[in-house]
Amino acid sequence: MKELIRNFEEFRAKVDLSKPIHHSAAVMARDGFIQRLVFRIYGVDKQYGSILIFELQKASPFANIEQLQNEYRKLVEKYAKPLGSTEGAWIQ
């Protein structure tokens, strides 16, 4: 079973910090030049042992991949690093 959570505090309360936690991002094209950055952190539920996914999406009118990567780095600093998450793939 998987649970998608969009509230970071809820994710943080449910995730088992003794198990590995990973993060990744993907860029999705949307409506021409507008792109969407999808940032996810994956972990294990400490109560049930199921997969937890924290997801945050940001729309960007910038087609510039460097701008999106800078946004990704900010998300890593804010959400992933405090959990000790390791990096997965950057998908373009």
Interval 28-38: pLDDT, tens: 876 667 788 89
Residues spanned by the domain of 77: 2-85
81 lies in some domain: yes
Taking only the tens place, the pLDDT of each residue in 65-78 is 788 888 999 999 99
Residue 45's pLDDT is what?
98
24 lies in some domain: yes
3-state secondary structure of 49: coil
Residue 59's pLDDT is what?
83
pLDDT of 92 > 60? The answer is no
Q: Write down the residue that tokens 């990704």 correspond to.
A: 72
* Position with higher pLDDT, 83 vs 34: 83
CB 24 within 8 A of CB 43: no
Question: Total structural domains in the chain?
Answer: 1
76 lies in some domain: yes
90 lies in some domain: no
Note the pTM of the prediction, 2 decimals: 0.87
Taking only the tens place, the pLDDT of each residue in 48-57 is 999 999 999 9
Residue 17's φ and ψ, nearest 5 degrees, are -75, -10
91 lies in some domain: no
